[in-house]
Amino acid sequence: MEGEDSGSTIGLQAGSEPLRLTDVQLPWRFAERDERLALLDVFLEDFVFHAAMIRKQWGVGEFTCLGLALAGMVLGAWDLGIGELAGGGDYNRVGLSGFRNLSDFSLMLSLLSMIAWAGVLVTIWSRYPIMRENLVYLGIAMLAVQMGSISAHSQSPDFPNGSVARDWAMLGIANMVLFFLSIVVVHRAVIETRDIHVEERHAHPDPRVVQKAWRDHSLRAWSLSLGMWMILVNLMAWSGAHAIADRPPIESYSNLVVAMFVVTGFLSAGFLMHILWYPQFMLGGAEDRIQSVRAREVAGEAPEAIPKAEQGKCPICSNNTPAIRHATGRIEVTCTSECSGLGKPGTSCPECDSILPTRIECPSCSSNTTIVSHFSRSEAW
């Protein structure tokens, strides 16, 4: 369901209710074997949720785009019996001159590959509008790594064997560009846009509802997808340059390396689509662009500061207590019964009609003090 907010409506239906990330139930958990493995359960829930959403949301457009990406890789990387790439071609001819001197079948394959990649770009550009700016950054990052790998192979065709410091330096600079554009620019923009979205559109007096909204908008699996894409781009760039780095006539043309180029290129296209799709799916109905806070400030679009609820602190040990004071000044405390109701101290619980406490016991030091004192501030002198 493109363009919907996963915090309010997630397209997959579980009965009559939409599925949220917090609704995912694992049949078994790592934490049952060892509590230290609880974090793996969190990531597994994210992966299960993303897989469910992909099955539900991805359709003809996404799979056609992936098919075009695979066709573009195969048509551009394999001779299919022609021998143009395997033979090394004429390295004295470049650009349009090189195209004009290709054999008819090689030229046809090259043009078909370019058409396929043009179809990929048009598809993802039109389907994920709020990620267009970030698509440009990721495209530049990918091109930088490819150029870095080509430069590393230019003097050392068997790179990394027989390489020198300069070869590694060029590849290192390319990866610095990849890291900056992918992590510092794109990752930060998506994370900070998500933060603003949750704080503005999922504000609620009950902190438990807000905590659930943060969980529903988790980006752990998306962040791992971005990391995997960065690794695959490096593998694709290396294998593509390595396959054609030898000077013609090429005597050791490796179909295995070419196959690695095709596979890693296809997988990187799949991860790139996931990287662009999930923010569009999660925020597309509520946001018109993905930007970092700093970029919004420069553009004059910085969000206004939203008053936040204040967590009570024990006046004895200064640790957090269950009391909450909202921006309006209203203090709320949880019911001491098992119903977990929430309301103003001294009034009836909205769930079980018990009288809500005016004093609470600190969970850390066990001191029993008035709730008002949990929001008092000590004098500076």
The closest alpha carbon to 130, from 66, 226, 194, belongs to 194
Residue 363, CA distances (Å) to 313, 325, 345, 366 in order: 11, 18, 18, 6
Phi–psi pair at 159, nearest 5 degrees: -50, 135
Determine which of 83-92, 169-178, 196-205, 221-230 has the lowest per-residue pLDDT on average. Answer: 83-92
Return the exposure string of 22-34: e unless at least 16 CB atoms fall within 10 Å of the residue's CB, then b: beeeeeeebeeee
pLDDT band at 97 (very low <50, low <70, confident <90, very high): low
Provide the pLDDT for residue 378.
44
Provide the pLDDT for residue 193.
87
Provide the pLDDT for residue 87.
58
Provide the pLDDT for residue 370.
84
- Indicate whether 149 and 46 sit together in one domain: yes
Domain-located, residue 380: no
- Indicate whether 247 and 363 sit together in one domain: no
Run of H or E including 322: strand 320-325
Average pLDDT over residues 302-309: 58
> Residue 222 corresponds to which tokens in the numbers above?
């998306």
Residue 59, CA distances (Å) to 1, 56, 71 in order: 10, 8, 18
- Indicate whether 140 and 286 sit together in one domain: yes
| Model confidence, pTM | 0.72
Provide the pLDDT for residue 181.
94
- Indicate whether 40 and 150 sit together in one domain: yes
The closest alpha carbon to 245, from 155, 147, 161, belongs to 155
> Residue 75 corresponds to which tokens in the numbers above?
């048509």
Containing structural domain, residue 218: 13-57+128-296
Provide the pLDDT for residue 255.
77
Rounded CA separation 64/58 (Å): 10
Does pLDDT of 381 surpass 90?
no
Residues contacting residue 309 through CB under 8 Å, at least 6 positions apart: 205, 207, 324, 325, 326, 327
- Indicate whether 344 and 267 sit together in one domain: no
- Indicate whether 270 and 346 sit together in one domain: no
Average pLDDT value for the chain: 79
Quote the number of domains for the chain: 2
- Indicate whether 241 and 284 sit together in one domain: yes
- Indicate whether 264 and 343 sit together in one domain: no
- Indicate whether 178 and 260 sit together in one domain: yes
Domain-located, residue 65: no
- Indicate whether 277 and 243 sit together in one domain: yes
- In a 3-state reduction of DSSP, which class is residue 165? helix
Provide the pLDDT for residue 299.
58
Average pLDDT over residues 50-57: 89
Provide the pLDDT for residue 102.
64
Name the residue with higher pLDDT: 373 or 380: 373
